[in-house]
Amino acid sequence: MSRVAAPRSRTSLAPSIAFTVLALVLSIGAYVIAGYGKRGQLPATFVLYATIFAAGYAGALLAIRAFAPRADPALFPTAAVLVGLGFAMIFRLSGGLAAEQATWIVVGLIAFALTVIVVRDARMLDAYTYTIGLLGLVLLLLPVVPGIGQTINGARLWVQIGPLGFQPAEIGKVLVVIFLASYLTQKRELLQVATSRIGPLRLPPAKHLGPVLLAWGASLAILFLQRDLGASLLYFGIFVVMLWVATGRAAYLVIGLILFVAGAYIGWLLFDHVQLRVDIWLHALDPAKVFDQGFGQLAQAQFGMASGGLVGTGLGQGSPGLIPFASTDFIFAAIGEELGLLGSTAILLLYLVLVGKGLRVGLRAPDAFSTLLAVGLSTLVALQAFVIVGGVTRIIPLTGVTLPFVSYGGSSLVSNFVLLGLLVRVSSGPLAPRERTSRGGAA
C-alpha cells in the first residue's frame, strides 16, 4: 500500500469560498424557515445564531486555507450543511436545546480548527500507536467505572464528573480508528499471508486470526458491560473493513460476517435488551405491543415519516414533538416528517458525498497509514449513519447511536468535528516546512 505521490498544489480559493458560503446560506436559511414555520416571525435569536454560524464557518475556512491549503474544498462545507440542517430541526423542536447545540457547535468548530493546526502531518500520529490505543480503551471503559458512570435509557455510556456530563466513547471511537490504522499498517504483511484455502477463499494462519477474534470479543464485552448494541456493531464493523483494506483479503470480510452473525445470535440469547430491540423491530406496528408493552417510539417515527410524504409538511409545520427523542435518536424521522422524502434523501446524499470524499482522500493518500486512517474515519461516519437511519426506517433493529453532525449532543458533535479535521489534514497532506516558516509557525 505504500505509494509515492507528487506534491499537491494549493487548491483554488474560489471553490472553498463558494462551497462555504453555500453551506452558510443553507444553514441560516433553514433556521429562519424553521423560525417562521414555528412562530410566524423572524426568530428573536436570529442575529446571535447567524453571527455564530458566519463567524464559525469563516474561522474554519481561514484555518483550512492557512494550515491545510491543499485540502478537498468540499469536505468541510458538506459537513457544515449537515450541522446547519440539524440545528434548524433542533431549534424547531426546542429553543433551549438549540441554545445548547449552538454552544457545542462553537466548541466543535474550535476543536476542528485546533485539529487542523496542531496535527501538521497525520503521519505523526503513527508514532503513538499504543499510547493512543490505551487512551481510547480508557475512554471506552470509563462509563463502567463505579461512581462516575451513569446508565441513561438503558445504556451505560455517560460519565458524570461534578456538573459535567459527557460520553467519552465518542472521542474514543476516533482514537480507536487511529490506533487500528497504525497497528494494521505495522502488521499488514503478516496478516496478508495465506497458507490454506477453503473453496475460493485463501485463509491466513490461525494465529493471525487472533486480532479478528479479539475485536469480536471486545465488541461482545461492550455489549455486555455498556448494553450498547450500536457501539458494539460500529467497532467490529470498522475493524473488519480496515483489516480488509489493509490486507486486500476478502477472507477477512467473510470471517467477519460469520462472526457478526454468531455474535448477534449470542447477544440475542444472552442479553434481554438485545431481545427487546429485536422484538421492537419485528413488531413495531403491532397494536398489542405498542399499547401494552410501550413499543410506541418506533411506531411514532414511522407514522411521522409517512405523514411527511414526498415534500414534507414544511419546517415548523409538522408535529415531530410527538416522536420520542426527536432531537437525538429519531431526528431523521423528524426531518422526514417536515422535509419529506426529498429532504431525507438530500440528507443521505450529503452523507454519500462526505463519505465518498473521505474514501477518495484515502485512495489518494501517499502512505498506508494515511490511507487506513481516512478509510477508517469515513467508515465510522458511514456505519453510524447507516445504523441509525436503518434503525429508524426498520431496515435493522434500532440502536442508540446519533446521526453524525445532525443529532443533538455535545460529545458526538465535538468528536465528529475532530474526525473531520483529521480528514481535512489527510486530504491536504503534511504542511511543508516552507509553508510553516512563512506563517511564523514552529515545526
Pick the closest to residue 378 from 367, 389, 399, 363 (CA basis).
363
Rounded to whole angstroms, how far apart are CA atoms 397 and 233?
11
In a domain, 30, yes or no: no
In a domain, 66, yes or no: no
Query: How much is the pLDDT for 18?
Result: 92
In a domain, 146, yes or no: yes
In a domain, 268, yes or no: yes
Q: What is the pTM for the complete model shown?
A: 0.89
Structural domain count, the chain: 1
Which helix (H) or strand (E) is 160 found in, with range? Answer: strand 155-161
In a domain, 64, yes or no: no
Query: How much is the pLDDT for 4?
Result: 45
- Give pLDDT tens digits along the chain (443 positions): 445 444 455 666 788 899 999 999 999 999 999 999 988 889 999 999 999 999 999 999 999 999 999 999 999 999 999 999 999 999 999 999 999 999 999 999 999 999 999 999 999 999 998 899 889 888 888 887 777 777 766 666 778 776 677 788 889 899 999 999 998 998 888 777 766 666 666 666 666 666 666 776 776 776 666 666 777 788 888 988 998 998 888 888 888 888 888 888 888 888 787 888 888 888 888 777 666 555 678 888 999 999 999 999 999 898 888 888 899 889 999 999 999 999 999 999 999 999 999 999 999 998 999 999 999 999 999 999 999 999 999 998 888 788 999 999 999 999 999 999 999 999 998 755 434 433 333 33
- Let me know the angle formed at the C-alpha of 262 by 220 and 248, rounded to the nearest 5 degrees: 90
Q: Name the grid cell of 424.
A: 481535512
94: left (phi over 0), alpha (psi -120 to 50) or beta: beta
In a domain, 57, yes or no: no
124: left (phi over 0), alpha (psi -120 to 50) or beta: alpha
Q: Name the grid cell of 312.
A: 414534507
Residue range of the domain that includes 149: 127-429
In a domain, 413, yes or no: yes
Query: How much is the pLDDT for 137?
Result: 84
In a domain, 25, yes or no: no
Which helix (H) or strand (E) is 198 found in, with range? Answer: strand 196-198
86-114 burial, b if ≥16 CB within 10 A, otherwise e? bbbbbbbbeeebbeebbebbeebbbbbbe
Instruction: State the DSSP string of 390-418.
Output: HHHTTSS-------TTTSS-HHHHHHHHH
Pick the closest to residue 428 from 55, 184, 66 (CA basis).
66
Query: How does strand 149-152 pair with strand 155-161?
Result: antiparallel
Rounded to whole angstroms, how far apart are CA atoms 220 and 108?
31
CA atoms within 13 Å, Cβ hemisphere of 304? 30
The beta-strand segments (E) located in 254-381 are none
Reported as a single tens digit per residue, the pLDDT across 28-61 is 999 999 999 988 889 999 999 999 999 999 999 9
Distances (CA, A) of 169 to 250, 317, 372, 401: 29, 36, 21, 11
Question: Which amino acid is present at 343?
Answer: G
Reported as a single tens digit per residue, the pLDDT across 53-94 is 999 999 999 999 999 999 999 999 999 999 999 999 999 999
Burial of 29 (0-12, 13-18, 19+ CB in 10 A): middle
